[in-house]
Structure 1
């Protein structure tokens, strides 16, 4: 998809992925697996309207969110202001498939991706994986949520859920992209989706 399409979906309020804070993230925070005492710097790749970024900022993290939809970023900044955490959130316009991302420097303790990597194919997908590698350090926790299935196992089209109209990670692709430098744990997720918690070695 293109930025103009994302902007249109956000402007109309019909972006299907814009559903608030993802339960996998809240579960990880509630379980103490992601906590500011272990490192406060968070990079939210494809941050959208900022739900996850603001949620973590409210819990003491320092968050940098990056997206290429200007409409989404305006809403993310407004959300941070409304929750009183603008000082803990920076939202940047940028291409997350190319390193370095303008305005983003150093390494991060937590990196988030809820549905950006799987929306890319080919060179951009490989480029975004390199972005994750370059901004990670030993001990960095990378949370990746994605559509995850063999293309032949999903229907050609359906109104709700994954179909061949979506791009997705094929099983094993997470190992190809990240397995050499991250340990990978898969959390329970609905059919044809996956949430991975990866830790930089």
Structure 2
């Protein structure tokens, strides 16, 4: 996340303080989303080996989900504290052989193009400024083989940080982190050239507002850049 280093550095500091405080995170850390659970069941019904990348895995609720479903799963996060939690939980569930944990930047993933069958992003994309979306499309979608899946969870415009919050635009900087809020129509414009959008589920309860988007990568997307050392 190099193009806006000051903002992204503050954002990283915010997440680091939350994880290192030892208090429960204000976002879910153990229970997977129902949408991701359905994807795991879909993959189980299909034959063939599956490699999953949990991008910005946090404390591993989806890393553990897919490993428990029998898939080799890589959890990538740019903070060490949540990765230590994932390692502990994986060991307790005897899932360590199916999991690889990496410390790294979501926009500089150290993998070869087409390495993964599935990329799961639950909370990375909505923290990226619009100017960096082409980098995400290039580098993250480039990791998925044609016909593979991308599962995306992002804030909807109905999300609120606190009761009565009002916004005049589709993004804000809140407590030193950048948040972008999406409408249902946005996903075709952002990803439609590269992906078939299979399902868009909207979640809205209380202050929470999210979209869970399942996409399948079309042939023809070529990763333009190479970052890091390929796996």
Report the TM-score range of the alignment, normalised by the length of the smaller protein: 0.7 to 0.9
Work out the CA distance in 1 between the residues paired with 2:180 and 2:86: 25
1:79-120 deviation line (CA, Å, top 9, x unaligned): 11111111111111111123xx13x33521111001110111
Work out the CA distance in 1 between the residues paired with 2:106 and 2:191: 16
SS at match of 1:84: coil
Q: CA RMSD in A?
A: 2.5
Tell me the equivalent position of 1:168. Answer: 181
CA shift, 1:178, in A, is 1.4
* Alignment pair present for 1:183 and 2:160: no
Paired residues for 1:117-156 under 5 Å: 117-149=125-157
Runs of 4+ with >6 A deviation: 160-163
Indicate if the aligned counterparts of 2:76 and 2:101 stay in contact, CA closer than 8 A. Answer: yes
SS at match of 1:14: coil
Instruction: Flag the 1:27–1:44 CA change in 2: closer, same or farther, 3 A.
Output: same
- Alignment match of 1:22 (pick from 33, 47, 50): 33
Q: Could you say which structure has the greater relative contact order, defined with CA pairs below 8 angstroms and 6 or more residues apart?
A: 2
Structure with the largest fraction of strand: 2
How many residues align structurally?
A: 192
Paired residues for 1:45-84 under 5 Å: 45-84=55-94
Instruction: Flag the 1:15–1:41 CA change in 2: closer, same or farther, 3 A.
Output: same
Q: Which runs of 5+ in 2 are unaligned?
A: 1-9, 219-231
Worse-superposed segment, 185-194 or 3-12: 185-194
Indicate if the aligned counterparts of 2:201 and 2:213 stay in contact, CA closer than 8 A. Answer: no
Q: Which runs of 5+ in 1 are unaligned?
A: none
CA shift, 1:38, in A, is 4.3
SS at match of 1:140: strand
Work out the CA distance in 2 between the residues paired with 1:126 and 1:89: 29
Tell me the equivalent position of 2:13. Answer: 4
- Alignment match of 1:43 (pick from 47, 53, 57): 53
* TM-score normalised by L of structure 1: 0.83
Work out the CA distance in 1 between the residues paired with 2:134 and 2:14: 23
* TM-score normalised by L of structure 2: 0.73
Work out the CA distance in 2 between the residues paired with 1:169 and 1:9: 25
Work out the CA distance in 2 between the residues paired with 1:57 and 1:10: 23
Indicate if the aligned counterparts of 2:197 and 2:215 stay in contact, CA closer than 8 A. Answer: yes
Work out the CA distance in 1 between the residues paired with 2:214 and 2:86: 24
